[in-house]
Amino acid sequence: MTSTAGTPIAATLIPGDGIGPEIVDATVRVLDALGSPFAWERRSAGMAAMDAAGDPLPAATLDSIRDTRLALKGPLATPVGKGFRSVNVALRKEFMLFANVRPARTLVPGRFEDVDVVLVRENLEGLYVGYEHYIPIGDDPRAVAEAAGIITRHGCRRIAEYAFEYAVSRGRRKVTIVHKANILKALTGLFLEVCQEVGRDYQGRIEVDERIVDNCAMQLVMNPQQFDVILTTNMFGDILSDLIAGLVGGLGLTPGANIGRDAAIFEAVHGSAPDIAGRGIANPTALMLAATMMLEHVGRLDDAGRLRAAITTVLGNREQCTPDLGGRASTSGYADALVAALG
């Protein structure tokens, strides 16, 4: 998807739950200062939609995303162990958002310097397909829980081609395929096999290596600079992407994108943080970085660069940051600093 410079692009805006409306409003204000690149259709999802309409994913929200093919989403709450299933997962399945992209880059001083890792996660297959059930034994109807993971050659090739094209288009040097083929020989063995096949098509342009997932986790916390682009399965990607976020300061500093052939949804991947909702201290950085990814997706590269530079500038002055980053600024004050940095 590309755009004509200066013409606002129709996009769906989902404020979300908890701190979602606060960080979404801050992000929209900063985007307005950038020149209002998006024309928003506000829609609800998650607990907010459940409370208002009795449906965590209303038809109007789905229709809007089908129309705009583009969305920016705040965090959505999901009940643990009961209630409705994850709306995030439902959106991925509804729009076949097969690629989850999670970049993590050092923006503030921390335990590691110069971390710049992008994790590309297959988003629709594996154990997260949700094929699970209980097996009764005697008087216990839930004596055994059983789940099935599904990986297809088509799905593996689709995500591998996306990851390698992503690496080439962004000047990346290496793709590391992460798996557990030593134990799950069929389920992740197929993933490794197909990804290596695709990687051979990029010989001479992209270095390809592979890691068993547990070794990858250890190597990430010992020497994260050795990694560039990580390509992995659904569940491993879910876990490793949070680990990588921890290397650069946490989920408040890492954005996410869910990409499909016909739609893309950009998000803050952290939770809805109901304990601080309404207090005006939430950190909107992750959602603002998601907005830079969204700008890149629609071809607004100059705007994306300006926004990313402004975020880097403001994060360099701890007093302008929110309390979780060691500063004293409110969510609104942080947004004010970004608006000023944009000039």
| Catalytic residue status for 128 | yes
214 part of the active site: yes
Question: Which residue is it, tokens 């020497």?
Answer: 223
Instruction: Determine which one of 17, 73, 128, 202 is catalytic.
Output: 128
Return phi, psi of residue 127, to 5°: -70, -15
pLDDT for position 51: 87
Amino acid at 66: R
Which residue from 49, 61, 69 is spatially nearest to 297, judged by alpha carbons? Answer: 69
DSSP E strand stretches across 225-332: 229-232, 255-259, 264-268
Report yes or no: 117 and 93 within 8 Å, Cβ to Cβ: no
Q: Catalytic residue, from 162, 180, 202, 336: name it.
A: 180
Residue 51 bears catalytic tag: no
Q: Classify domain 1-98+250-343 at the CATH class level.
A: alpha beta
Domains 1-98+250-343 and 111-247 share a fold: yes
pLDDT tens-digit map of 87-135: 888 999 999 999 999 999 999 888 888 999 999 999 999 998 888 999 9
Predicted confidence at residue 5, as pLDDT, reads: 59
Any catalytic annotation for residue 303? no
Q: What is the rounded CA–CA span in Å between residue 15 and residue 45?
A: 8
Rounded to whole angstroms, how far apart are CA atoms 318 and 326? 6
pTM confidence score: 0.93
Domain boundaries, the chain: 1-98+250-343, 111-247
Element of type H or E holding 306: helix 301-315
Q: Do residues 101 and 167 touch, judged by C-beta distance below 8 A?
A: no
- Of the listed 238, 303, 334, 336, which one is catalytic? 238
Q: Which of 51, 209, 214, 262 is catalytic?
A: 214
Distances (CA, A) of 124 to 114, 148, 167, 263, 293: 31, 14, 21, 14, 21
Average pLDDT of each block of 10 consecutive residues along the chain (343 residues)?
71 96 97 96 92 90 97 85 71 96 93 94 92 95 95 98 97 98 96 98 97 98 97 97 95 96 95 94 97 97 96 93 93 96 92
Looking at domain 111-247, its CATH superfamily turns out to be: Isopropylmalate Dehydrogenase (3.40.718.10)
